[in-house]
């Protein structure tokens, strides 16, 4: 349940953003570790406003029905309170692990291993792409001469992403290796 807090964060970072602007920025920054569709974002902005955590004004001289939002003091307070709440660790939850287990249980004869290998290779390229993307971010971000606190935190988040993706690449490469040995 972090979408509201992610939105508050994005709105403090750049006040007077509209729903669509937030959706676009989600895709490029926060979205790397917390995804949200524009429908979700509109719904949540409505709730945050109803709860008195943000406020908005309609912008004239704009297309559609553009509304610009900003965070109220109560919203900032809510965000600060939330920082201290403990949350349960995200458990590993991945369909590929289920597939591997299914393959093991079905056994080499009854399972369709070539198809599984194709599925794994597909996932592998996805993670390699993401990894390459993060690495290109890293070239920009890590070369900071005298990073302040905010920059150091961004670097930290990026490294978490790098570790995550390279971990998957490693796991999947190992899986392919082992599945292709077809004895017993």
| Smallest gap from residue 13 Cβ to its own copies (A) | 5
For residues 98 to 137, the per-residue mask of contacts with its own copies, x marking binding by CB under 8 A and - elsewhere, is xxxxxxxxxxx-xxxx-xx-xx--xx--xx--x-------
64 contact, one of DNA, its own copies, none, CB 5-8 Å limit per kind: DNA
Q: Of 16-24, 52-60, 62-70, 73-81, which segment contacts its own copies by CB under 8 A? A: 73-81
Q: Report helix, strand or coil for 64.
A: coil
Q: Yes or no: say if 10 and 17 are a contact pair by the CB < 8 Å rule.
A: yes
Question: How crowded is the C-beta side of 161, counted as CA atoms within 13 Å?
Answer: 23
Q: How far, in Å, CA of 21 to CA of 4, rounded?
A: 16
| Smallest gap from residue 42 Cβ to its own copies (A) | 19
* Angstrom distances, CA of residue 7 to CA of 31, 54, 64, 77: 11, 10, 22, 14
- Residues 16-55 close enough to bind its own copies by CB under 8 A: 30, 32-35
Phi, psi of 15 (to 5 degrees): -70, 165
| Smallest gap from residue 20 Cβ to DNA (A) | 4
Q: Which residues pair with 71 in a beta bridge?
A: 54
Phi, psi of 16 (to 5 degrees): 60, 40
43 contact, one of its own copies, DNA, none, CB 5-8 Å limit per kind: DNA
Q: Kindly tell me which residue out of 9, 29, 40, 159 binds DNA, with binding defined by CB under 7 A.
A: 40
Residues 6+ apart with CB under 8 A from 81: none
- Residues 133-172 close enough to bind its own copies by CB under 8 A: 148-150, 152-154, 156-157, 159-161, 163-164, 167-168, 170-171
Q: Kindly tell me which residue out of 12, 13, 46, 119 binds DNA, with binding defined by CB under 7 A.
A: 46
């Amino acid at each position: 349940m972090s979408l509201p807090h992610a939105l508050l964060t994005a709105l403090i970072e750049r006040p007077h953003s509209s729903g669509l602007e937030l959706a676009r920025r989600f895709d490029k920054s926060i979205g790397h570790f917390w995804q949200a569709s524009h429908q979700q974002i509109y719904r949540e902005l409505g709730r945050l406003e109803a709860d008195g955590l943000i406020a908005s004004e309609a912008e004239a001289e704009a297309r559609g029905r553009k509304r610009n939002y900003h965070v109220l003091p109560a919203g900032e307070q809510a965000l600060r309170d939330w920082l201290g709440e403990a949350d349960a660790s995200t458990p590993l939850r991945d369909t590929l692990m289920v597939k591997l287990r299914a393959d093991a249980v079905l056994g080499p004869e009854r399972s369709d291993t070539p198809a599984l290998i194709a599925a794994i290779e597909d996932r592998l390229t996805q993670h390699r792409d993401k990894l390459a993307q993060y690495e290109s971010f890293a070239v920009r971000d890590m070369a900071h001469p005298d990073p302040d606190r905010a920059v150091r935190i961004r670097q930290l988040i990026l490294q978490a992403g790098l570790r995550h993706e390279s971990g998957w690449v490693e796991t999947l490469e190992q899986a392919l290796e082992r599945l292709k040995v077809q004895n017993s």
